[in-house]
Structure 1
Amino acid sequence: MGVHYVEGDLTPEAAAKVERLGYTAVWIAGTREPRLTIVERVLAATGALAVATGIVNIWYAEAQAVADTYHRLEAAYPGRFLLGIGAGHRELGTDFRSPYQALVDYLDVLDESGVPKQRRVLAALGPRVLKLAAERSAGAHPFLVTPEYTRRARELVGPDALLAVRLEVVHCGVEAASPNRAPARRH
């Protein structure tokens, strides 16, 4: 079971606390810089916690630099890093290729650089990218989806692919009419 953090909100101390609480993974969203500094800091601050990027934006982080970082982190913290990549927003980019083709090209560079298929996942929402995730990575990391979507995604990626879904959950305790639920429903 994992915990999700936005890159700017995660500290090594928070990651260590997550590990002490018994969680086995932390997913870091909003990663743009190819050296993945926060990933390295979290790995160094924890003993067994798996760290995944959810996601490295392919429009901002050059594929070869990310592949080099993967190998550096894997050498220092074997088996604890999962590289999540995706064609997120490209607000300032000048690359006008289709997001699908850009992902294929990025995966080609990762393949050529020896980043193992089983140590990477794709941010995938649509059926075409879900199928790409099943073929060229360990699986998919869909973000802010419903249980119904998850069922359809599982059918597309198959029974053996990783499907690391981010679902929003509100813990309300025993009281069914908790006032804390209204802001969560708006989110």
Structure 2
Amino acid sequence: MSDVESLGLGRFGIYTFDFEGLRASRIRDHAQELEELGWPALWVPEGIGREAFTHAALLLSATRRIRIANGIAQVWGREARRTHGAALLLSDAHPDRHLLGLGYGGLARPGVKPLAVMAGYLDELDALDADPHNPAPAAPVRRVLAGYGPKMLELARDRSLGAHTYHVTTAHTAQAREILGPDALLAVEHAVLLEADPEIARTTAREHLAPYLASPYNAAKFRRLGYTDEDFADAGSDRLVDDLVYWGDLDTVAAKLHGQLAAGADHVAVQVIGTPPGGSALPHWRRLAEALV
């Protein structure tokens, strides 16, 4: 069995911001139902307020089989020693169920090069492996890196199990697979909306994409894929929106998600968008499980 297969992520998992707005008891209930539905993996970000490792610990403790992945734990504001200790403890308490997703994350910082930051952070983590203060975990820590550009993808290939990408097209997935080679993990997040009306779907998608299209890192990523100023105007062209958010009925969305696998992804983390604050996409996760799990 390859390292990628041993992760047990399956072909499709769930990616969600919804837990940012839920009480702990509802988070537990949702995670347990996702596990019962057969979803093999659950990805959670660190964007609005939840701290990455306490969030992962809550989800791991509430479930028995499902893999919990940080997508991602940001390296800013977190000493490498703290990341190292948290990852060791989670791997010891829940062997082979936690995937440490690391990324630069956050806002642009003038004069700071993300590649150099990530490489230095990994150097610190690796040096801590010899620290005698933390016992070796029951299962090894397994990590992936958020990566988009060629150099960061190469770093992910060389210094981790592979890459986790976010808001990418199938064209990017094909390019990433070529850089990563055949053996590294490529876990791709993709946004979806179970809505067949084009106007409603694209309006919701544009609301979701607005902060990302304003980000210089994302703009650079999209420009490398051939999108132009016209695609960024008016909250995103139909072409860009449709490439980044798959919408339609269940069969249409499922078929498009399989396209990411065909392009080279090992695993697709499906993010249902359009959930109101304090709500959850659980009804949609149930429907998607019928088609994908």
TM-score of the pair, normalised by structure 2? 0.56
Query: SS at the partner of 1:48?
Result: coil
Give the aligned residue type for 1:8. E
Could you say which structure has the higher helix fraction? 2
1:100-153 Cα deviation digits (max 9, x unpaired) = 111011111221233999710001011100010000000000111111111111
Q: 1:102 to 1:178 in 2, by over 3 A?
A: closer
CA distance in 2, matches of 1:15, 1:56: 19
Q: Indicate which of 14, 20, 25 corresponds to 1:3.
A: 14
Conserved in 2, the CA contact under 8 Å of 1:67 and 1:113? yes
CA-atom RMSD in angstroms = 2.6
CA distance in 2, matches of 1:35, 1:147: 28
CA distance in 2, matches of 1:177, 1:35: 36
CA distance in 1, matches of 2:121, 2:127: 10
The answer to whether 1:82 aligns with 2:82 is no
Q: Give the number of the structure with larger relative contact order, counting CA–CA contacts within 8 Å between residues 6 or more apart.
A: 2
Conserved in 1, the CA contact under 8 Å of 2:90 and 2:98? yes
Aligned residues: 182
1:42-89 Cα deviation digits (max 9, x unpaired) = 000001010010111111221110110011111110010010011112
Give the aligned residue type for 2:94. Y
Conserved in 2, the CA contact under 8 Å of 1:117 and 1:137? no
Query: SS at the partner of 2:166?
Result: coil
Q: Indicate which of 164, 167, 186 corresponds to 1:141.
A: 164
CA distance in 2, matches of 1:20, 1:9: 22
Q: Indicate which of 178, 181, 185 corresponds to 2:201.
A: 181
Query: SS at the partner of 1:165?
Result: strand
Q: Which residue of 1 aligns with 2:145?
A: 122
Conserved in 2, the CA contact under 8 Å of 1:34 and 1:66? no
TM-score of the pair, normalised by structure 1? 0.86
Give the aligned residue type for 2:128. S
Conserved in 2, the CA contact under 8 Å of 1:59 and 1:87? yes
Conserved in 1, the CA contact under 8 Å of 2:65 and 2:97? yes
Conserved in 2, the CA contact under 8 Å of 1:34 and 1:62? no
CA distance in 2, matches of 1:69, 1:141: 20
Query: SS at the partner of 1:155?
Result: helix
Conserved in 2, the CA contact under 8 Å of 1:33 and 1:61? no
Give the aligned residue type for 2:202. A
| Structure-to-structure mapping, 1:9-20, within 5 angstroms | 9=21, 11-20=27-36
Give 5+ residue unaligned stretches, structure 2: 1-11, 130-136, 209-293
**Structure 1 residue 179: deviation in Å?**
6.3
Q: Which residue of 1 aligns with 2:186?
A: 163
CA distance in 1, matches of 2:79, 2:111: 15
Query: SS at the partner of 2:56?
Result: helix
Moved more, 76-85 or 54-63: 54-63
The answer to whether 1:154 aligns with 2:177 is yes
Give the aligned residue type for 1:22. G
Query: SS at the partner of 2:192?
Result: coil
Give 5+ residue unaligned stretches, structure 1: none
| Structure-to-structure mapping, 1:16-95, within 5 angstroms | 16-30=32-46, 36-90=53-107
Greater C-alpha Rg: 2
CA distance in 1, matches of 2:140, 2:175: 23
